[in-house]
Structure 1
Amino acid sequence: MIDALRDVDLKLIRAFTTVAECGGFMPAQAVLNVGPSRLSTMIAELEQRLGLRLCRRGRVGFALTESGQEVYRAAQRLNADLEAFRSSVGSLRGKLIGNLAIGLVDNIVSNPAQRIAEVIDRFSRRAQDVRITIHMDSPQELERKVLDGRLDIGIGAFHHALPGLAYHALFLEEQTLYCGRGHPLFERAATDIQQVDILAASYAGKGYLEDRRPLNLSAQAVSFSMEGLAMLVLSGRFIAYLPSHYAASWVGKGQMRALMADTTSYQSLFECVTRQGHSRTPILQALLEDLHSGHAKRLLQPDTGRSATSRKPRRPTRLAET
């Protein structure tokens, strides 16, 4: 049993958390840059030090034991505390030091309302020695990873306020209904398309929780990414909601068209999410300040006559608040 942590123990714990997060030994090898035999030895040594069986391997695949799950959660807390210590000590010297894990939903880079690249530039101009990693995931996964400490912050369109998380409004994204060339509605005049035609079309939806849309559409196909939805639309078989900035290139090429945009489009509220009840590291506080500065005027509603969000919005929270 570990009575006092040593440097070697921290290395073993980090190896174990990587294996747990990668879902097995093989994918973790590339992340840790170690061979299979070395990684197996490290996990076996940690199990011996703890006196616990942490994981099972075999024909049925990789899985953490109950003890392994508890140790993993404890390791996450330990890694977060070590990172907070490192960051706090660096701030005493007037310098940001540590790691920053940012989670984003896919395909927001072309949204003219977001200023994330400018925020990263502003943050990088501070006196700092910060290793930034960016992860792409669904909104629900971003929330889960922020909650368990794998991400410092997530940015996306979130549809429920989960306990333990703080949500801060950033910018809006227009969602528009599209069909692709070859679809029965593609060549029809806009004045000839009615709501009944939309409801009768095969709809492709997101594989995760969606906004409350203006129309109650039942999905005949799903995708967990915008790229997958775009592929379904381009097939000419399905209609789907896509961010208007994302679909613009295909619209310009004559491969997609919007459907009843004046009545079926809506605005999604994009927010950043952080853990509640945890002291913010100087690194996270600095990033939140830069996000607030970069998006202070981004919530102005476009002149479309449509509501800013598709659901009852939470009261926007200033990023500087604790």
Structure 2
Amino acid sequence: MLNRLQESDIKLLRVFYAVASCNGFTAAEPVLRMQRPNISAAIKKLEERLDLVLCHRGRGGFQMTKEGEVVFQETKRIFNSFDNFVFNLKSLHDDYSGHITLVMMAGLPLSYHLAVSKAVKSTMKKFNDIHVNIQTRLYNEVEHVALSGECHLVLSTYDMVKPESVTFHPVEVSCKGRLYCSPSHVLAKYRDVLPDNIKIGDYPAIGISGLSSANYISDDIRMGIQTFSDSYDACLSAIMTGEYVGLLPDYVLTNQAAGLGLVPVGKSLFEFSHELFVMNGKNTRLNPVLRHLIKEISYFIQQVEK
């Protein structure tokens, strides 16, 4: 079993990372510039070093094991940190080349993704030899990745108490939302006004992991949270069962849930407005490249909202 990483282990992990990212040995050949027998030998050696089976390969095709998935995610985190270290080190010498990792909160609207793509294109055009790695994370993970050094910047809403270890750059856009139910839910007939004899707390609700508990209270009325989801997309799926009510951003109705007939309960009941931020850990060096990218992200998202 592996007790300490050696230089040879890093090389083996890079082979595994490429194979897992490409979802197969054959697809990884041009990326690694290695022939399949050599790739297979490297994976086998890594499995021996880790004393784990990382993937199955054969007639059934390539498939990672549960242990392989964990190693893949940890390897991704390590290599992101390596890339960020090199990028930050270069910037100390006014060399603004290398890889930037930008994390976006899962579930943001497509229009924001398109705005980010424009911001990235602008940044790559202004600074030579810059490459941007765009990833997504669940809401309850965004603070961690901002602090951990896994990425340079995070684009996310944030409604918790802001830690001093994270710098928040307001995009000057808010994501508004409210309480929704499916058209088959018993509360769907109370779109505009909720009668006094109807108690929201009596109806099972689904929450979002990481969201401030203040969102589930409105004028001393509390939602009856029975279970939690890890994203707005998962929350939407639970709401559409007709068994739960839940909070959703309004943009979900014009994107993922268009045509599903979701109903706002009590019109403005449990309304929320979560400000959008570009975030970075205090240990991230904000060089001219990152400052330009932050400015461009804010600009293009504001253009979407106009």
> Equivalent residue for 1:165?
166
Task: Note closer, same or farther for the CA distance 1:251–1:38 as it changes in structure 2 (3 Å cut).
Answer: closer
Which stretch has the larger CA shift, 132-141 or 237-246? 132-141
Note if 1:13 corresponds to 2:19: no
SS of equivalent residue, structure 1 residue 191: coil
> What is the 5 A alignment of 1:164-313?
164-170=165-171, 171-188=173-190, 190-194=192-196, 196-210=198-212, 212-213=214-215, 214-215=217-218, 216-248=222-254, 253=259, 255-294=261-300
- Preserved CA contact (<8 Å) 1:179 1:259: yes
- Cα shift at 1:31: 8.7
SS of equivalent residue, structure 2 residue 181: strand
Q: Distance in 2 between matches of 1:217 and 1:196?
A: 12
Q: Which runs of 5+ in 2 are unaligned?
A: 1-5, 33-38, 55-64, 69-73
**In structure 1, what residue type is equivalent to 2:165?**
G
- Cα shift at 1:37: 2.7
- The two structures have a TM-score, normalised by structure 2, of 0.69
- Cα shift at 1:130: 2.2
**In structure 2, what residue type is equivalent to 1:205?**
G
- Cα shift at 1:14: 6.1
Q: Distance in 2 between matches of 1:236 and 1:28?
A: 37
SS of equivalent residue, structure 1 residue 128: coil
> Equivalent residue for 1:155?
155
Task: Note closer, same or farther for the CA distance 1:273–1:14 as it changes in structure 2 (3 Å cut).
Answer: farther
Q: Which runs of 5+ in 1 are unaligned?
A: 1-7, 48-54, 64-68, 301-322
- Cα shift at 1:178: 0.5
- Cα shift at 1:246: 0.8
- Cα shift at 1:139: 2.7
Which of 84, 91, 95 is matched with 1:80 structurally?
A: 84
- Cα shift at 1:80: 3.0
- Cα shift at 1:222: 2.0
> Equivalent residue for 1:57?
52
- Cα shift at 1:205: 1.0
- Cα shift at 1:288: 2.0
> Equivalent residue for 2:57?
none
- Cα shift at 1:173: 0.4
Task: Note closer, same or farther for the CA distance 1:31–1:192 as it changes in structure 2 (3 Å cut).
Answer: same
**In structure 1, what residue type is equivalent to 2:163?**
L
Which stretch has the larger CA shift, 258-267 or 237-246? 258-267
- Cα shift at 1:237: 1.4
- Cα shift at 1:188: 4.1
Note if 1:106 corresponds to 2:112: no
Q: Distance in 2 between matches of 1:236 and 1:72?
A: 38
Q: Deviations over 1:291-312 (max 9, x none)?
A: 3444679999xxxxxxxxxxxx
- Cα shift at 1:268: 0.7
Q: Distance in 1 between matches of 2:182 and 2:285?
A: 48
- Using the aligned pairs only, state the percent identity: 10
> Equivalent residue for 1:140?
140
Which stretch has the larger CA shift, 291-300 or 214-223? 291-300
- Preserved CA contact (<8 Å) 1:178 1:241: yes
Aligned CA-pair RMSD: 4.2
- Preserved CA contact (<8 Å) 1:76 1:148: no
Q: Distance in 1 between matches of 2:225 and 2:116?
A: 32
- Preserved CA contact (<8 Å) 2:175 2:275: yes
> Equivalent residue for 1:306?
none
SS of equivalent residue, structure 1 residue 212: helix
- Cα shift at 1:177: 0.7
- Preserved CA contact (<8 Å) 2:165 2:281: yes
Task: Note closer, same or farther for the CA distance 1:298–1:81 as it changes in structure 2 (3 Å cut).
Answer: same
Q: Distance in 2 between matches of 1:29 and 1:37?
A: 17
- Cα shift at 1:103: 0.8
SS of equivalent residue, structure 2 residue 169: strand
**In structure 2, what residue type is equivalent to 1:253?**
G
- Preserved CA contact (<8 Å) 1:176 1:265: yes
Task: Note closer, same or farther for the CA distance 1:249–1:180 as it changes in structure 2 (3 Å cut).
Answer: farther
- The two structures have a TM-score, normalised by structure 1, of 0.66
Q: Deviations over 1:170-223 (max 9, x none)?
A: 221002110101100113463354484322211011133346214332322321
How many residue pairs get matched?
269
Q: Distance in 2 between matches of 1:17 and 1:195?
A: 62
